[in-house]
Amino acid sequence: MTAPLRHAEPIVVPVTLGARAYDIVISRGLIACLGERIKALRPGAKTAIVTDATVAKRHLGAAENALKAAGIKSSAIVVPEGEGSKSYATFETVCEAIIAARIERGDLVIALGGGVIGDLAGFAAASVRRGLDFVQVSTTLLAQVDSSVGGKTGINSRHGKNLVGAFHQPILVITDTALLDTLPQREFRAGYAEVAKYGLLGDAAFFTWLEANWQEVFSGGPAREHAIAVCCRDKAGIVARDERETGERALLNLGHTFGHALEAGAGFSGRLLHGEAVALGMVLAFDFSARKGLIGEADSARARTHLASVGLPTHLKDVPGGVPGIDALMDLIAQDKKVKRGKLTFILVRGIGQAFVENDVSAAEVRAFMADKLSSA
C-alpha cells in the first residue's frame, strides 16, 4: 500500500453491480455537498432524512442546510438511538412517516447515521411503495467501512438479529470522514476492528500499512480517508463477485462466529460492543488456525499485537464482567452457525490476509480449544 496523498478531490469507490451500481464518495467535509450531489443524481426529488436522536443533535442541521442550499425539500424522521430501533415498532413509525412526508417513486430516503439507521431506513426504503431509492450518509466508522457497502438492510426479530430484511442497494453513499470526529472514542475503536478485518482476511499489504499508520486513522488525517477507501474497495470487490453471500462474501465473517458468541454472552450490552467482540473473535480465529497448524504463532501474535495496540480487547479476560462457561459458549457458537453432524463452519486463515471458509471444523475441537482459552483466562 503506497502512502496516501492528500486528495483535493473526493475519493470515489464504485460498487459495480450492473443496474444497481452506485458510488461511495469519501472526503472530509463532504456533507456540505450533499444537496449538490443529490441534485445531480435525482433532479427535482424530495427527501426524507431518517436519523437517530444523537446524530440529529450533531449533524442533522448540516445535512438540512446542504439540501436547502441546493433547493431540495427535506423532512426529518428522528428515532431513538441504539439497536432497539431495529424493531417492528420503529420500522412502522419510519414507514408511516415516509408516506406522510409524501415521498414517492423518484423521491429519496436519506439514512443519516450509523449501521442501525442504515439498516432500518434502508429496509423502510426497500418496503415503502415496493422500493424507494435511498442515499446513505454514514456517521460511524463501522457504517463507513462495512454496513453502507453491500445493500443488506433489515431489523431484528425476537428470534435473533437481522432476521427480517431485504437486499436493497443505495444509489449513493456519502462518506464524510469529519463526521467521525464527534463519535465517542470507544465506538471509533470498535469500528476499527472491522478496518483491521479487511487486512487480516484478504489484504496483507493493507494490514502492514495499518500497523504503520493507525494513529493517523484515529486522529483524522488523510490516512483516515485512505483506510476507509481501501475497506470500501475491498468489500465492494467481494460484494460485486458474490452479492447474495453464496461463497466469498462469507469471508467478511472472519472473527464473527467466536465474536457473536461473546457478544450474545454479554447480552448484546454496552459491556462488549460488536467491534470489540469481533477483535477478540479474530484473535481466536488466528489462534485456532495456529493450533490446527495452518499458520505459525508469529502470525497470530502479529494480529493480536496490532489489535491490542489500538486498545481493542484481545484476551477473554479483557471482557468486563467475564465470559460464559464452556457449555454456554458452545451453545452460543452452535446457534450462530448451524452444526451439521458435529461439524461447524468457520473462517480460518493460512496467513495474514489469507482467510478461507472451512466447513469441516469439529465441534469437539472447538470445544477443547475454547476450554483451554477459558482456563488460561
Ligand X SMILES: NC(=O)c1ccc[n+]([C@@H]2O[C@H](COP(=O)([O-])OP(=O)(O)OC[C@H]3O[C@@H](n4cnc5c(N)ncnc54)[C@H](O)[C@@H]3O)[C@@H](O)[C@H]2O)c1
Active-site residue set: 130, 152, 194, 235, 245, 249, 253, 256, 260, 274
Interface with ligand X includes 113 (CB under 6 A)?
Answer: yes
| CA-wise closest residue to 26 among 195, 175, 226, 168 | 175
Q: Does 117 help bind ligand X (rule: CB under 6 A)?
A: yes
Cell of 93: 413509525
Strands (DSSP E) found in 98-171: 108-113, 133-138, 152-157, 160-167
Site for ligand X in 180-239 (CB under 6 A): 182-183, 187
The answer to whether residue 121 forms part of the interface with ligand X (CB under 6 A) is: no
- Does position 140 interact with ligand X (CB under 6 A)? The reply is yes
Q: Of 23-31, 63-71, 103-111, 139-147, which part binds ligand X (CB under 6 A)?
A: 139-147
First to last CA, the chain: 36
Read out DSSP for 190-252?
A: HHHHHHHHHHHHH-HHHHHHHHHHHHHHHHTSHHHHHHHHHHHHHHHHHHHH-TT-SSGGGGG
d(CA 112, CA 116): 10
Find the shortest distance in angstroms from Cβ 71 to ligand X: 26
Nearer residue to ligand X within complex by CB, 57 or 315: 57
Please tell me the distance from the alpha carbon of residue 237 to that of residue 353, in angstroms, as a whole number. Answer: 15
Minimum CB separation of residue 274 from ligand X in Å reads 6
**CA atoms of 302 and 307, how far apart (whole Å):** 9
Rule CB under 6 A: is residue 255 a binding residue for ligand X?
no
Residue 86 touches ligand X, criterion: CB under 6 A: yes
Of 35, 115, 265, 313, the one binding ligand X by CB under 6 A: 115
CB 65 within 8 A of CB 135: no
- 176 near ligand X (CB under 6 A): no
Binding residue for ligand X, selected from 119, 225, 276, 287, defined by CB under 6 A: 119
User: Residue type for 211, please?
Assistant: E
The interface region with ligand X, picked from 37-45, 75-83, 241-249, 264-272 by CB under 6 A, is 75-83
Residues 141-160 that bind ligand X (CB under 6 A): 142-143, 146-147, 150, 152
Q: Which is nearer to ligand X, 133 or 194 (CB)?
A: 194
Q: Which is nearer to ligand X, 182 or 359 (CB)?
A: 182
Pairing of strands 47-52, 343-349: unpaired
Least separation in angstroms between CB 236 and ligand X: 12
Q: Exposure string (b/e) for 272-301, b if CB count within 10 Å is 16 or more?
A: bbbbbbbbbbbbbbbbbbbeeebbeeebbe
Single out the residue of 54, 175, 177, 300 in contact with ligand X (rule: CB under 6 A). 54
Residue nearest ligand X, Cβ-based: 115
State which of residues 162, 208, 221, 371 lies at the interface with ligand X (CB under 6 A): 162
CA-nearest of 231, 74, 217 to 145 is 231
Q: Interface with ligand X by CB under 6 A: which residues?
A: 52, 54-55, 58, 81-83, 86, 113-117, 119, 139-140, 142-143, 146-147, 150, 152, 161-162, 179, 182-183, 187
